Structure 1
Amino acid sequence: MSASFDSPLGVGAPPRPERRAAPGAGKPPSVLIAGDCMLDVYLEGAVDRISPEAPVPVLHLKKQSQRAGGAANVALNLSALDCPCTLTGLIGDDSAGHCLTGLLDRPGIHQQLVRSPDLSTTQKIRLVSQRQQLLRMDVEEPPPEPCIQSLNALARDLAHRHRWVLVSDYGKGALRDVRDLIDACRHQPCRVLVDPKRKNLEAYTGAWLLKPNLQEMRAAVGDWNDEKDLCERLARLQRSLEIDHILLTRGEAGMTLFSREGLCLHVPTEAREVYDVSGAGDTVLAALTCFLARGDPLEDAVRAANRAAGLVVGKFGTASVTLEEMGMAA
Structure 2
Amino acid sequence: MNALPLDAMARSRVLVVGDVMLDRYWFGEVERISPEAPVPVVRVARREDRLGGAANVARNVVALGGHATLIGLVGTDEAGGSISRLATEAGIQADLVADAENPTTLKLRVLGRQQQLLRVDFEQAPEPATLDDLDTRVAQQLAQHDVLVLSDYAKGALSRVQSMIAMARKAGVPVLVDPKGDDYTRYRGATLVTPNRAEMQEAVGRWTTESQLTERAQKLREELDLEALLVTRSEQGMTLFTAAGRSHVDAQAHEVFDVSGAGDTVLATLATMRAIGQPWNDAMRWANRAGGIVVGKLGTSIVTAAELAGVSQ
Name the residue aligned to 2:97.
114
TM-aligned CA deviation for residue 271 of structure 1: 3.8
Q: Which amino acid aligns with 1:55?
A: P
Q: In 1, distance between residues paired with 2:57 and 2:253?
A: 20
Root-mean-square deviation (Å): 1.6
Q: Where in structure 2 are the equivalents of 1:137-148 lying within 5 Å?
A: 137-148=120-131
SS at match of 2:171: coil
The alignment partner of 2:307 has SS state of coil
The 1:90–1:58 alpha-carbon spacing in structure 2 relative to 1, beyond 3 Å, is: same
* Partner residue in 2 for 1:190: 173
Structure 2: runs of 5+ lacking an equivalent: 1-8
- Give the percent of matched residue pairs that are identical in Structure 1 and Structure 2: 46
Partner of 1:104, secondary structure, is: helix
State the partner residue of 1:263.
245
In structure 2, C-alpha distance between the alignment counterparts of 1:29 and 1:287, rounded to whole Å: 11
2:72 paired with 1:72: no
Partner of 1:187: helix, strand, or coil? helix
The answer to which structure has the higher helix fraction is: 2
Counterpart residue identity of residue 42, structure 1: Y
Provide the C-alpha distance between the structure 1 equivalents of 2:90 and 2:124, rounded to a whole number of angstroms: 31
Cα deviation code 1:172-205 (max 9, x no counterpart): 0011000000011111121000000121011100
How far does the alpha carbon of each residue in 1:81-107 deviate from its partner, in whole angstroms, 9 at most, with x for none? 110011100011111001111111146
Q: Give secondary structure in 1 for the equivalent of 2:88.
A: coil
Counterpart in the other structure of 2:75: 92
Summarize the Cα distance change of 1:186–1:69 in structure 2 as closer, same or farther, 3 Å threshold: same
Write the distance in 1 (CA, Å) between the matches of 2:99 and 2:297. Answer: 33
- The equivalent residue for 1:167 is 150
Task: Give 2:24's aligned residue.
Answer: 41
1:290 to 272, 283, 288: 272
- 2:169 counterpart of 1:209: no
Paired residues of 1:271 and 1:314 also in contact (CA < 8 A): no
Residues 31 and 84 in structure 1, CA contact (< 8 A), matched pair in contact too: yes
Query: Contact 2:11–2:66 (CA<8 Å) still a contact in 1?
Result: no
What CA distance in whole angstroms lies between the structure 2 residues aligned with 1:57 and 1:106?
A: 35
**1:324, CA displacement in angstroms?**
0.8
Q: CA deviation at 1:328?
A: 5.9
State whether residues 59 and 90 of structure 2, in contact with CA within 8 Å, keep that contact through their aligned partners in structure 1.
no
Structure 1 residue aligned with 2:212: 229
User: Are 2:5 and 1:58 equivalent residues in the alignment?
Assistant: no
Give me the TM-score of the superposition, normalised by structure 1: 0.89
Q: TM-score, normalised by structure 2?
A: 0.93
Choose the corresponding residue for 2:290, options 308, 317, 324.
308
The residue number in structure 2 matching 1:9 is: none
Task: Count residues in correspondence.
Answer: 303
Deviation at 1:129, TM superposition (A): 0.9
**What's the offset of the Cα at 1:297?**
1.7
Distance in 2, matches of 1:189 and 1:328, equals: 34
Contact 1:192 1:208 in 2 (8 A): yes
Q: Deviations over 1:130-166 (max 9, x none)?
A: 1111010000011122111111222133223322000
Question: Which piece of structure 1 moves more, 102-111 or 34-43?
Answer: 102-111
Q: Retained in 1: the 8 A contact 2:12–2:272?
A: no
| 2: CA distance, partners of 1:27 / 1:118 | 38
Residue 326 in 1 paired to residue 308 in 2? yes
Aligned partners of 2:267 and 2:287 also within 8 Å: yes
Q: 1:254 aligns with which of 214, 227, 237?
A: 237
- The answer to whether the 8 A contact 1:271-1:313 is kept is no
Query: How far is 1:28 from its partner?
Result: 7.7
The 2-side partners of 1:154 and 1:27 are apart by 24
- Contact 1:40/1:68 (CA < 8 Å) preserved in 2? yes
* Whole-Å separation in 2 of the counterparts to 1:243 and 1:142: 28
- 1:51 and 1:57 in contact (8 A); partners too: yes
For 2:91 and 2:122, the matched residues in 1 are separated by 29
Report how far residue 306 of structure 1 moved. 0.5
Question: Helix, strand or coil: the match of 2:216?
Answer: helix
1:131 aligns with 2:114: yes
